[in-house]
Amino acid sequence: MNIKRWEIWLADLDPNFGTEAGKTRPVLVIQSDLLNVVHFSTAILPITTKVVSGVHILRFNLNELSAETGLSQNSDVLLDQIRTIDNKRFVKKMGIINDTGCRKKIEEKLKLVLDLV
């Protein structure tokens, strides 16, 4: 399986525990391609269609990118739900985030969530 950073994949996140995002849902691959080539698990961010306003640090909205992402509904990336999953959980590739400006915004928000600023 050829998984790359910034791609959006459908992935099976069950079983989940507590507040973890579960079920089969889109996810954004955030792991470096250096690891994606050789590693059997991948760091991802779940994506939800339960769009919430007022939590801009914890989410990134993908609505303006729907053509390239393969998402059919307005969706948010859950930046506070970083998770590493086994590559067997990936079901199919849906799309990608090509826009470098959006990539930078996601990276900046991740830095805030992880206190790397």
**For residues 100 and 68, is the Cβ–Cβ distance under 8 A?**
no
State the Cα–Cα distance between residues 111 and 15, nearest whole angstrom: 28
Determine, yes or no, domain membership for 73. yes
Q: Which two tokens stand for residue 15?
A: 């079983």
CATH number of the domain residue 34 falls in: 2.30.30.110
pLDDT 10s per residue in the chain (117 long)? Answer: 799 999 999 999 888 777 777 789 999 999 998 888 888 999 999 999 999 888 888 999 998 887 889 999 999 999 999 999 999 999 999 999 999 999 999 999 999 999 997
Is residue 92 in a domain?
A: yes
User: Is 65 contained in some domain?
Assistant: yes
Q: Please give the model's pTM, rounded to 2 decimal places.
A: 0.92
Which pair of structure tokens corresponds to residue 98? 């090509």
Contact, 106 vs 79, CB < 8 A? yes
Residue 1 lies in a domain: no
- Structural domain including 65 reads 7-113
Count of domains for the chain: 1
DSSP letter at 53 equals: S
